C-alpha cells in the first residue's frame, strides 16, 4: 500500500515522509505531491496502490478541501483513507473536512506518536 503525501511545503512533505519511514513504511511506498492538482495526477497514475492520503488544506492551484471533495465524489477511491494534516484547527473547518469525507484530522505541528495513533485508529498497521 502506498501513501500519498500532499503539501505545498517541501519541508513539511520531508518531515511527514521521514516520520512515516520511522513508523516502518518503505520509502518506495511514499509518493509526494505539491498541491491538489499534482495529487490528482499522482492518484490517477498509481490508482489502486494508494491506500492513504495525508493532505494539507492550504495549497495553491487546488486546496486540500477541494481535492478531498473531488476524490470523495469518485466511487473508485471510496476505500482510500484521507487524513487532513493542517494548521487549520478551527472546529468549523475540522467538521467541514470530516463531513466532506476525511477519515481523520491532525493539527500541525504534530509528533510521530500522533500520526501513529491516527493511522491505528483507521486500522492501519504501523
- Among 85, 84, 82, 83, smallest CA distance to 109 is for 85
Task: Judge whether 108 and 87 are in contact, CB under 8 Å.
Answer: yes
How high is the pLDDT of residue 1?
92
Task: Judge whether 41 and 67 are in contact, CB under 8 Å.
Answer: no
- 110 vs 14, 49, 85, CA distance in Å? 14, 26, 9
How high is the pLDDT of residue 97?
96
What does the pLDDT look like over 84-124, one tens digit per residue?
999 988 999 999 999 999 999 999 999 999 999 999 999 88
Q: Give all domains of the chain, ordered by start, each with its CATH number.
A: 2-121 (3.40.50.2300)
Q: How far is CA 90 from the centre of its chain?
A: 18
What does the pLDDT look like over 44-62, one tens digit per residue?
999 789 999 999 999 999 9
Sequence-distant (6+) residues with CB within 8 A of 63 are 35, 36, 57
How high is the pLDDT of residue 29?
96
DSSP string, 52-121: EEEE-S--SSS-HHHHHHHHHTSGGGTT-EEEEEES---HHHHHHHHHHT-SEEEESS--HHHHHHHHHH
How high is the pLDDT of residue 102?
97
Amino acid at each position: 500500500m502506498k501513501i500519498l503525501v500532499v503539501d505545498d511545503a517541501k519541508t513539511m512533505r520531508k518531515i511527514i515522509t521521514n516520520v512515516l519511514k520511522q513508523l516502518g513504511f518503505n520509502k518506495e511506498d511514499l509518493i509526494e505531491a505539491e498541491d491538489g492538482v499534482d495529487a490528482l495526477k499522482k492518484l490517477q497514475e498509481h490508482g489502486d496502490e494508494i491506500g492513504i492520503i495525508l493532505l494539507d488544506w492550504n495549497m495553491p492551484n487546488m486546496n486540500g478541501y477541494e481535492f478531498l471533495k473531488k476524490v470523495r465524489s469518485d466511487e473508485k477511491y471510496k476505500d482510500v483513507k484521507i487524513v487532513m494534516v493542517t494548521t487549520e484547527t478551527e472546529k468549523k473547518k475540522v467538521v467541514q473536512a470530516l463531513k466532506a469525507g476525511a477519515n481523520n484530522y491532525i493539527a500541525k505541528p504534530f509528533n510521530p506518536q500522533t500520526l501513529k495513533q491516527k493511522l491505528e485508529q483507521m486500522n492501519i498497521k504501523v
